[in-house]
Structure 1
Amino acid sequence: MQLQRKISAKPQERRRHARVKLALLGRYMLEDRREFPCQTIDVSAGGLALTAPVVGALGERVVAYFDALGRIEGIIVRHYEHGFAMTATLTAAKRDKLVNQLMWLVNRKTLGLPEDRRHERITPKEVNTTIRLADKTLIPAKIVDISISGAAVTCAKQAPMGAMVQVGRRRARVVRTFDQGMALEFALPLSFDQFDENVIL
C-alpha cells in the first residue's frame, strides 16, 4: 500500500501547475548577460520549457521575456536536445496574473480572438517624470503605465501627434493624445531584463 501511495502521488506533484502547450517567441538572458531568441514549448505558473540555441548550466539563473507574458525569472532545471526547462520565480500576485494570461492565450487561440496588446504593460513604483518638448519646455508628468516599447503619461500640456519628446532620459514619439495625457513610443525599446516595477525612465 505504501508503494502504491508513492506511485499515485507523483502525477499529482507533476500536475501541481497545469502546463499549457504554447508556441510564444521571446528572448532569454543567461548569467553572463548573453541574450538569445527562444520559443516556448509549454508554460505553467511554475515554469516553462523552451526551444533555445544555447543551453545554460543546470542551476543557472535565467531571465526570459515574452510579449504576451512579460518578464519571467527562474533557474535552469532540465536540459533537452534543443533547449531547456526553467522554473518561474514569481510572487503570488504575479503567479495569479500569469495563470490569467495563460487562460486568455488558450481561449484566444481556441476562439480566434485578436491580440489585445502588443506588449505587457506595468505601473512602475516611481511614476513621477518630466516631458521635454522640442522647444526645451519641461513639463511635469506622471506615468500611467509602461511597456518595453512605450508609455502612457498624464501631463498638463500635450505635444502634437508625431512630435519627438524626451520622457525622463528617453527619446520618444507621440503616437496618441487623450484627455490630460499622451501615449508615447520609445525611440529604442527598454532592455527586457530591466523591465519591472523598479524601472526608471
Structure 2
Amino acid sequence: MTSQRHMVVLPALCWNIRRPDFYAVTADVTAEGIRLRSSARLAAGEDLTCSIRHIGQLEVRITEVSGQDFVVWVRGGRATLNGLARQFVTLARAQNFSLEPIRGHRRIVPAQKTAVITLESGVTFPGHVLNVSASGIALLVDQALELGETIWVGSRAARVARHFEHGIGAAFLEPLEPDAVHAAMTL
C-alpha cells in the first residue's frame, strides 16, 4: 500500500550538535515521513533538530538519503506525524499545488492545426492545435472552459485537464494508438 503524498514547499533550518546549521526545504509529506532537500551531506540515522516555517521545531531522525533528498521521521512516531499532517495538508492546499500528469507519450505538432471543438451542449468553435500526443492535446481557444469539462476535439472525446494563458490541455478519454500520432494526422 502506498501512502498519499502531499507536496508542500516550506523553508527549514536544521542542525545538530556535530554539524553547523544548514538550510533545507520541504518537498512532501507522507505517512513515512517528511521529505526535504538540501545541499548538505547527510547520513541515514543522523538525528537533527529542524525548524520548519509554519510548522515549528521538530526533533527528527534521517531514515533515507538519496542525492539531495532526505526523509526524516518525526520523534514521537506516527501519532505525532499524523498530527502534523493536517498542518502540512492545509499548507499544501494553500500553495495550490496541482499534480501535473507525467507525460508518457511524445508530443508532435501536426500539419493540420485547426480543430473543431464541440461542447456537451452542442456549441462548436474553432481551436488551434499547439501539440498532440496519444494521451492528450494542447489547444489555443477563445472560450472559457472548466477543468474537468468534457469536450470533443474533432471526433475525439477529451476532458479539460489544465489551463494556460489563452488555452487548455485536455486528456483524451480513450488514448490514441502511439502510431496514430504523426504530423499528417487529423482529429
Q: Which TM-score applies when normalising by structure 1?
A: 0.42
Q: Which structure has the bigger radius of gyration?
A: 2
More helix by share: 1
More strand by share: 2
Q: Which TM-score applies when normalising by structure 2?
A: 0.45
